[in-house]
A and B are shown apart, each in its own frame.
Chain A
Amino acid sequence: MSDESGAHLETRPGFHPVARCRTAGWRRIAFIGICKHAGKTTAFNHFLSRLTAVGETVGLCSVGIDGERTDHLSGIQKPQIWASEGTLVVSAAQALEASSAMFEWLEELPVSSPLGPLMVARVTLAGEVLLAGVRQRAHVAQAIQRLKAWGAEWCLIDGAFDRIAAGVPGLVDTVVLAVGASAARELSIPAVLRAARPFLRRYRVPAADGALEARLQPAVERGQIGWTTADARDGTAGAPAGSALPDDLLHIAGRDAALFGLPRQAAWSEAVDAVYLPGAVTDEIVADLLGHRRPLQLVADHPAQLLLSETAWARFERAGHRLSVLRPLPLAAVAVNPHHVQGGRLDVRALAGAVAEEAGVPVYDACGGDDEDGGVSRCRNGRRD
């Protein structure tokens, strides 16, 4: 299939999003779900089985708890994670002890958890592994660094709930998004699409253009909020392309200033036409900017900083403003899971088709897989057989 030719459901033998990642050189992959029971771990297993089947050394960790038999709250059976010999894992000591796989313990990381310290271990006898204890972006960074140091050629990071914290450029190369029917209370494709849209949009936000990036560069380098005015831009009309403005034409505020209201900052004015936010972009922050008279270009640092609801996003754009990111993160694929956790299922082809139309990337059936994968399990009612 051609990635550029438009997205569509790919279940035929031979296709796998792993191939796309391999070709693009994306070897650190975060699995993010749009909700609990979206199919993240099943999508994760899909990659894991494919990679280990061809002898690749894979490193695993999870920002939640994965591999446990049942959900903590609902008691519903969950997909387990099967790791073959040679697979590297970062997980809490007690979680490793509760796994059926056998390990060679390689290293203790300086991170504690209620399940004991985080350990790096290598699977010596294939079995199920329980991944737990990694809970911060900083832990993920440490885990990936150590997994690679111990020889992992690929690093797979499983997500938790609808958390997006691990999907950060620099930390990972790409994201696989799991879109599950369970995201909507009502079992319908439009309802699932509504839930998926803010996640899909996050990875389709355009990158800020080079000239704008150059104007904002002093703020970016300091990790602080920066904004420029149309006057400043006019003042550099004759400047060479890509040249940064002098600092006095760029207003800089502390990283947290946006949480307290950008328009209330002393140097803010109606002439502002672009603002860079290194921190979170929330509904409250963009609501504060709706009344700004000049069309505004809001530049977020990367997609995981966009914590906007669909409604707030639409309002912001209707007001004539635009969002972009400094560091985009490619979406490798979308894995759809047609099974609702409370029973019932959607037509997988129809769901995949609808998601593909919005996503613009390959979409595959996380549960169905293909006959060649050797490890993708059949699903029933949102869980693995």
Chain B
Amino acid sequence: MNPVVDYRTKIARPNLHQLRPYGDTMDDGKVQLSFSLPVPDGAEAVEAARQLATKMGLRDAAVVHHEDIGEGFSFFVLYGNCQHAVDYANIHVPKVDVERMDFYAVNAFIRDRIGRKVVILGACTGTDAHTVGIDAIMNMKGYNGEYGLERYPEIDAYNLGSQVENAELVRKAIELRADALLVSQVVTQKDVHLHNLAHLVDLLEAQGLRERLVLVAGGPRITHELALELGYDAGFGPGTLAPEVASFVVQEMVRRGLA
């Protein structure tokens, strides 16, 4: 009788220095992509989509779905084989070096190490009206099983909502004697929101407030590296929950002697 073989030992191992997408077999580079073209659906449009995918570096690009989406536009789904690889083993993404505490631990930390309520303001600034992210962090009901900062007894949390001008945020920070500002921005390719994020830092510096505040940026394309480049103390991307932000803010306050 043959011994039982663990199927997991039969799976090919990825080369972490030459990492490619996985489709059907290891290293096949298979990817799926979709896009729209501003031309009516038809044979020419399908061929255009295939040629575009080839120019993107995909081998054996094939259109597996196409449809008319109205107004002279068409939509495509393609498969193809990616020819490029990345050195996964040498990728290092900066992470905030703080202990992630839960709701109870954050409140206890504030009581023990800060000894007063921590004031945190959150806002989508400038023209940005995408409040989903900041609401998930700030609002009492929270998100994904975690309370928002408004629920924390040791935190005075103020969600200023959307389209808040930088000057208004600074006024509120002064009025409410804020310890931390959470600024949410959907960073677009045209960098409009980056300019707004950078402008807030210049404004806080000019007003002599920057040193006194923990400044956090958040949004779909925000990383710690981008936040540092903009002059923020940390940057949180999608999926971040209130305890992560609160843990960073309170530990940063203690580290910088702001408690």
Q: Give A contacts to B, CB under 8 Å.
A: 35-36, 63-65, 68, 72-74, 94, 98, 112-116, 132-133, 135-138, 160-165, 185, 223, 255-256, 259-260, 278-282, 284, 304-305, 307
Contacts and interface: CB of A to CB of B under 8 A. Distances in A.
B226 interface: yes
Given A162-B195, A162-B198, A256 B207 contact: yes
B208 A255 contact: yes
A282 B252 CA distance: 30
A114 B95 contact: yes
A260 B175 CA distance: 10
* Most chain A CB atoms below 10 A, which of B170, B195, B207, B255: B207
B198 A163 contact: yes
A63 B231 contact: yes
Given A65-B229, A73-B189, A137-B205, 13 more contacts: A72-B225, A112-B255, A113-B233, A114-B224, A132-B225, A161-B229, A165-B210, A223-B208, A255-B207, A256-B174, A260-B171, A280-B202, A284-B165
A259 to B, nearest CB: 5
Interface in B213-253: 221, 223-235, 252
Contacts of B252: 112
Interface string B40-56: 00000000000000000
Interface residues of B, number: 44
B194 interface: yes
B205 to A, nearest CB: 4
Nearest to B171: A259
19 contacts: A36-B194, A64-B229, A64-B230, A65-B225, A65-B228, A65-B229, A72-B223, A73-B194, A73-B221, A94-B92, A112-B255, A132-B229, A160-B198, A160-B229, A164-B202, A260-B171, A280-B202, A280-B203, A307-B199
Contacts of A116: 97
A259 B206 contact: no
A113 B225 CA distance: 10
Contacts of A165: 201-202, 205-206, 210, 231
A165 B206 CA distance: 8
* Most chain B CB atoms below 10 A, which of A137, A138, A260: A137
A65 B230 CA distance: 9
Given A163-B201, A165-B202, A137 B210 contact: yes
Contact of A160 (B95, B191, B221, B231): B231
A115 B232 CA distance: 13
A35 B255 CA distance: 33
Interface of B: 92, 94-97, 165, 167, 170-171, 174, 187, 189-191, 194-195, 198-199, 201-203, 205-208, 210-211, 221, 223-235, 252, 255-256
A94 B210 contact: no
A327 to B, nearest CB: 13
A171 to B, nearest CB: 11
A279 B206 contact: yes
Contacts of B221: 73
Interface secondary structure of B, over-half rule: helix
Contacts of A304: 202, 205-206
A137 to B, nearest CB: 5
Contacts of B97: 112, 114, 116
Contacts of B187: 73
B229 A307 contact: no
A113 B198 contact: no
B210 A136 contact: yes
A259 B221 CA distance: 31
A136 B213 CA distance: 11
B194 A161 contact: yes
Contact of B94 (A94, A135, A160): A94
Contacts of B231: 63-64, 135-136, 160, 163, 165
A160 B191 CA distance: 13
B104 to A, nearest CB: 25
B92 to A, nearest CB: 7
A271 B63 CA distance: 74
B167 A284 contact: yes
Given A94-B94, A256-B174, A260-B171, A161 B230 contact: yes
B233 A135 contact: yes
Given A73-B226, A114-B224, A256-B174, A138 B202 contact: no
B206 A307 contact: yes
A36 B94 contact: no
A114 B202 contact: no
Nearest to A168: B205
B228 A64 contact: yes
Contacts of A307: 199, 202-203, 206
Contacts of A65: 225, 228-229
A36 to B, nearest CB: 6
A262 B95 CA distance: 43
Contacts of A132: 225, 228-229
Contacts of A138: 210-211
State the 4 A-B residue pairs at the shortest beta-carbon distance, nearest first: A280-B206, A114-B224, A64-B229, A165-B205
Nearest to B231: A135
Contact of A259 (B174, B191, B233): B174
Given A72-B223, A136-B211, A259-B167, A160 B206 contact: no
Contact of B170 (A94, A161, A163, A259): A259
